Amino acid sequence: MASKATIGSVAKERAGLNPKDFVFIAVFGILLFLVFMVFSIIFSANANLCWFTHTVGALFAGTVFMYLAYRVPKRGAIAIMGIIVGAVGLLMGMFWSGPVGIVVGGIVADLIAGDPQKRTKTKLICAFAAFTFCFWLGQISLILMMGEAYAEMCVQAGMTLEYGQTLVNSILSPMGVVTGAATIAGGLVGGFIGTKVFSKHFAKLGM
């Protein structure tokens, strides 16, 4: 017989985060970060492509995000994931604004996803797109704040001045708007792909 459960009823039954949930959130949060990191390494080889890391990474990370949302349908789970991922990013040497963007993204995504008993596929897709955009915005925000000085900071981090200047020029030109729009689109598509990958699971939960 088909399950009569909905994601709302499952959320109600699993009310409150427990130690097992925190372990699951940590594991999948780190996995989410690693997916983005892989594409960061690939795209960072070319400064002109660097800011498209989030766009492409989201196409694959969306599945990890949705799996977490499905397995831990509880308020605060996505926000905690953002805090964990932000901490990992900071430990990995990201400029401070990147981890801040990740943490903010997790909180915003949790708010968009809303009440676990009333979540829908559309809300979760939008939540992931918001998380991805905040992640990207956090990383480029230093350029918006520092302008040309960001290139010098890149040199201090071991990059060439030409590389750093290209990163700056990409954001301070119309290409910055294009990259931002592509990031949102990538997040929406990645979230949609994630829901499709687990469509059979979600169907059993009424999504």
What is the residue whose two structure tokens read 């809303």? 114
Mean pLDDT in the chain? 88
Q: Specify the range with the lowest mean pLDDT, choosing from 100-104, 132-136, 184-188, 194-198.
A: 194-198
pLDDT above 60: residue 23:
yes
Asked if 35 and 60 touch (Cβ cutoff 8 Å), the reply is yes
Whether residue 181 contacts residue 55, with contact meaning beta carbons closer than 8 Å, is answered with no
- Structure tokens belonging to residue 38: 């892989």
In the predicted model, is pLDDT for residue 184 greater than 80? Answer: yes
Q: For the beta carbon of residue 46, count every other beta carbon within 10 angstroms.
A: 11
Question: For residue 151, how many other CB atoms are within 10 A of its CB?
Answer: 21
Q: Determine the residue type at 107.
A: I
Q: How far apart are the first and last CA of the chain?
A: 18
State mean pLDDT over 181-203: 87
Identity of the residue numbered 17: L
Give percent above pLDDT 70 in the chain.
Answer: 89
Residue 117 has pLDDT above 90, yes or no: no
Q: Is 172 helix (H, G, I), strand (E, B) or coil?
A: coil
Residue 114 has what pLDDT?
Answer: 92
Smallest CA-to-CA distance from 108 within 86, 133, 89 is with 133
pLDDT score of 28: 94
The secondary element (H helix, E strand) that includes residue 174 is helix 174-197
Residue 42's CB is within 10 A of a number of other CB atoms, namely: 13
Beta carbons within 8 Å of 120's beta carbon, 6+ residues apart: 207
Please state, for a pLDDT cut of 90, what percent of the chain lies above it: 68
Closest by CA to 66, choosing from 202, 164, 203, 176, is 202
pLDDT in tens, 45-96: 999 899 999 999 999 999 999 999 988 999 999 999 999 999 999 998 888 9
Is the pLDDT at 201 greater than 80, yes or no? no
Distance separating alpha carbons of residues 63 and 75, to the nearest angstrom: 19
pLDDT digits (tens, 9 = 90+) for 128-178: 999 999 999 999 999 999 888 988 888 988 889 999 999 999 999 999 999
Residue spans per domain, the chain: 18-199
CA 20 to chain centre: 22
pLDDT in tens, 137-151: 999 999 999 888 988
Predicted TM-score (pTM) of the model is: 0.87
* Structure tokens, 205: 């939960």
Worst-scoring range by mean pLDDT, 37-41, 120-124, 199-203?
199-203
- What is the reported pLDDT for 63? 93
